[in-house]
Amino acid sequence: MAYRIGMIGLGTMGRNLLLNMADHGFAVAGYDKDQTKIDLLESEGKGLNVKGFASLQDFIKSLELPRVLILLVPAGKIVDSVIEELIPVLQKGDIIIDGGNSHFKDTTTRVNYLQPKGLHFFGMGISGGEEGARRGPSMMPGGDFEAYKYVQPVLEAIAAKVDGEPCVTYIGPGASGHFVKMVHNGIEYALMQLIADTYEILKKGFGYDNNSLHQLFSDWNDGKLQSYLLSITADIFNFKEPGSDHWLVDFIRDEAQAKGTGKWTSQVAMDIELPVPTIDIAVGMRDLSKYKLLRTNIAALYKGTGPAPGDGDKEEFVMKLEDAFYFSMIIIYSQGMQLLARGSAVYEFKLQPDQIAKIWRGGCIIRAKFLELIHGAYQKDSALPHLIFDSEIKSIINESLLSARTVAAQCVMAGISVPAYTSTLSYFDALRSERMPSNLIQAQRDYFGAHTYQLIGKEGIFHTEWNAVKE
Ligand code: 6PG
């Protein structure tokens, strides 16, 4: 029996993805050093055309030519050591797909390393968690187009579907697939922070209990804000530990962890000088959350709050909050789309923003009703300089802007930290400033460091002895 696809790494993601392929009629094989994972694969895949191997040689021999190997192992050094193990047993034309959350720059290095050996290597972002892998993820494959064509039928079969269309497409050359997945995760971080801010407002500003939080997030999820992240948030506020009477969420430490993809998004965005302030602050807030003792001590020093948001008029305020959330959500996605465009130009990825928005509509963590509008906007104009130029999106912004301002201002006065709401608003206000105060920054730089400045209506660079002027 020759297997169409081989999976290396039979952890939950690898196993589920393999079972998903088998569900769709593909004969597939998996390899792992851990026998218990092989046993799990075979028991969960009973009746399906799936086989587990503990011997790399036997596994490799069992695969159809050219071999297609998907790696689902932790990002970093392990990917390189697996590649080294594979090189001697593979032959020219074989395809290695890294399905993990690898840094796209590592993927570029690996593509360049394997190309002269005749091996196709491509990075494929996979989103959707365990459930997505099993039932239909969103996938972002980038690299050699011929290699993609070879696996396209399998990927399209197992992907999530929206209106019958698979949530997978060829992203572009090189490491573009992992770049796009990184930006996806950056957006994910910012949206999660926006939801966390909202929780903070409702809990601290209005004393919402978990029942009311569950109800509100469920209601929002039935409307324009419909999204996977809101739906799971509603579920979280409805979860009591089996056999107990307490809400699990209340017993979880307020210290957020991170595997690093959000940080990479901010780092890369800074390297290529494209601002994504809401992603930056989302990364920063996770970091701040880890300083528990410091926060506890400072909390004891600076007590007290301002007036309740909305002067305590809950209903009115919560209606505005829904619009403010929509506004911030639009700005978050637009920061991500800007980063895609800038990254595409810098790294020559040839990204198609409408196609990326299309495959994010289903299967992935940031899927949301709003992605339909993003998709539509870039379909109308693939060179849109910024998402907020789109006429439909412009109307939504104009309708929600006052609410966004009210919510941010009143939370600031109440002393409630809402960095996602305030950063989206400040970003937007700076964007709509024809003249920013950056002339002053230039003057300051020149004053203390003779860094020069440029003048309006005059070519060239200038320097002034500012001290002399003062005297
Ligand atoms: C996805 C997720 C997935 C993973 C994140 C978690 O798209 O399915 O983004 O890739 O859950 O890496 O990231 P953090 O540990 O950094 O929060």
Atom of ligand 1 nearest to the CA of 286: 17
- Ligand 1 atom closest to residue 365's alpha carbon, by position in its atom list: 7
Helix (H) or strand (E) holding 155: helix 145-158
Atom of ligand 1 nearest to the CA of 181: 7
pTM higher than 0.95: yes
Using alpha carbons, select from 197, 186, 223, 243 the residue that is nearest to residue 360: 186
Per-residue pLDDT at 470: 61
Q: One of 51, 188, 263, 322 is an active-site residue; which one?
A: 188
CB of 364 shorter than 6 A to ligand 1 = yes
122 within 8 A of 181, measured Cβ to Cβ:
no
Q: Is 185 in the pocket of ligand 1 (CB under 6 A)?
A: yes
pLDDT beneath 50: ranges in the chain: none
What was the pLDDT predicted at 468?
Answer: 80
- Among candidate residues 84, 89, 101, the one with its CA nearest the CA of residue 59: 89
Atom number, ligand 1, closest to the C-alpha of residue 364: 7
Mark whether 181 is an active-site residue.
Answer: yes
User: Does residue 352 line the site of ligand 1, with CB under 6 A?
Assistant: no
The closest residue, in CA terms, to atom 6 on ligand 1 is 259
Q: Rounded distance, CA 107 to CA 298, Å?
A: 43
- Give the DSSP letter of residue 314: H
Report strand pairing: 5-8 vs 68-71: parallel
Cβ of residue 328 lying under 6 Å from some atom of ligand 1: no
Can you read off the two tokens belonging to residue 464? 């002034």
What is the Cα–Cα distance from 470 to 295, expressed in whole angstroms?
43
Which atom, in ligand 1's list, is nearest to the CA of 128?
8
Q: Is 150 helix (H, G, I), strand (E, B) or coil?
A: helix
- 169 touches ligand 1 (CB under 6 Å): no
Q: Which two tokens stand for residue 22?
A: 């088998």
Distance 118 CA to ligand 1 centre (A): 32
Three-state DSSP state, 400: helix
Q: Is 117 a known active-site residue?
A: no
Write down the catalytic residue from 181, 263, 320, 358. Answer: 181
Whether the CB of 16 sits within 6 Å of ligand 1: no
CA-to-CA distance for 216 and 345, rounded, in angstroms? 41
Distance from residue 69's CA to the centre of ligand 1 (Å): 22
Cβ of 137 closer than 6 Å to ligand 1, yes or no, is no
Query: Could you tell me the sign of the dihedral formed by the alpha carbons of 365, 370, 374, 375, in that order?
Result: positive
Evaluate: CB of 131 within 6 angstroms of ligand 1: no
Residue nearest to atom 12 of ligand 1 (CA): 259
Q: Which residues contact 251 (CB under 8 A, 6 or more apart)?
A: none
Q: Which of 126, 185, 229 to mutate to test the pocket of ligand 1 (most atoms within 8 A of CB)?
A: 185
Strands 95-98 and 120-127: parallel
pLDDT of residue 174: 95
The residue to which tokens 């919510």 are assigned: 407
- Measured CA to CA in angstroms, residue 348 lies from 21, 44, 340, 400, 410 at distances of 32, 42, 11, 36, 44
Q: Check pocket membership of 101 for ligand 1, CB cut-off 6 A.
A: yes
Name residue, tokens 């290695």.
96
